Chains A and B, each alone.
Chain A
Amino acid sequence: MSPRREVIVASPRPRDAGSSVGQPASTLVRGGDFLFVSGLAAVDPHSGERVRGTTAGETRQILANLKQLLEAAGSSLDKVVKVNVLLHSMLEAPNMNEVYARFFPEPPPARTVCGARLPDGAKVIIECTALIQ
């Protein structure tokens, strides 16, 4: 039996700067028994505008949005199996962790954190893989 692939949440951004078509990524895709969430930058869920704050502030916004996204898809933060966190500076890891620890119930998912150069001036990008429900 062929496992199901389904785009559950399409890109939230109607346009990329300088481009006439939408961002070429879906926000949340189901593949078989898993949900794959694109790297999320901090966005105000009401206006859709990017939120530019501290690393802690952006982390809080991203994880709040991630929680909503997963729950709307029938999953939740406690079904997350793997998280990748990209930071604009590894010196900010403690600030990210302090917020991060408050979101995930025990035991938290597997996780990798790395420092990288991030698009659009983001301080944090977070992506994850979760189980459906």
Chain B
Amino acid sequence: MSPRPEDESCAAVLPLLEAYLDGELSPAAAAPVRDHLASCPACAAELRLATAIRDGLRGLPELDAPPTVLLRVRQEAGRAGVLAFRPPQPALRRPRLAALAAVLAVALLGATLLFQLLRSPQPVQPTPQEIAQATAQARYALAYIGRVSRRAGLELKDEILPRHLVEPAARTLSRSLGETPEPDAAPRQGS
């Protein structure tokens, strides 16, 4: 049974039921509502429905996002670079440093050779054997730089670079320029 529209008391009380239920009406405003509810079964039923709605809403559970969503958040945040402030991993840092050192070493050797050629009044005349060895070492250096670049992410021994690239190249360059080899330089094969 619903309140009759023509019932002015019901029409006045119905919009106040939620505030009345929450105890947010002043005592002066709540008193006539309470009196009406006591004598009007239809409005009392409306109050029960209002109570069921309020309690039903408050009984609805909060819901956790599924773990797959949180995983996707991490992945997307990582792709967007927002994890960049995480300390870089050693396995990623060292190859990059090694590649940079290789490039710098080749550039340094090139600059030294150019400086010596410009300074010397007599062009250096290396032997065919020295030219062949220098060519082989240059090829090795280029191949090594390419390999380092491709293997970014893999661990690399720091001492490989000076032992296999910088020191041999320096020895060959010194000999080509007519300087005395250092005492601890490794003997050349076949000599």
Q: Please determine whether chains A and B interact with each other in the same assembly.
A: no
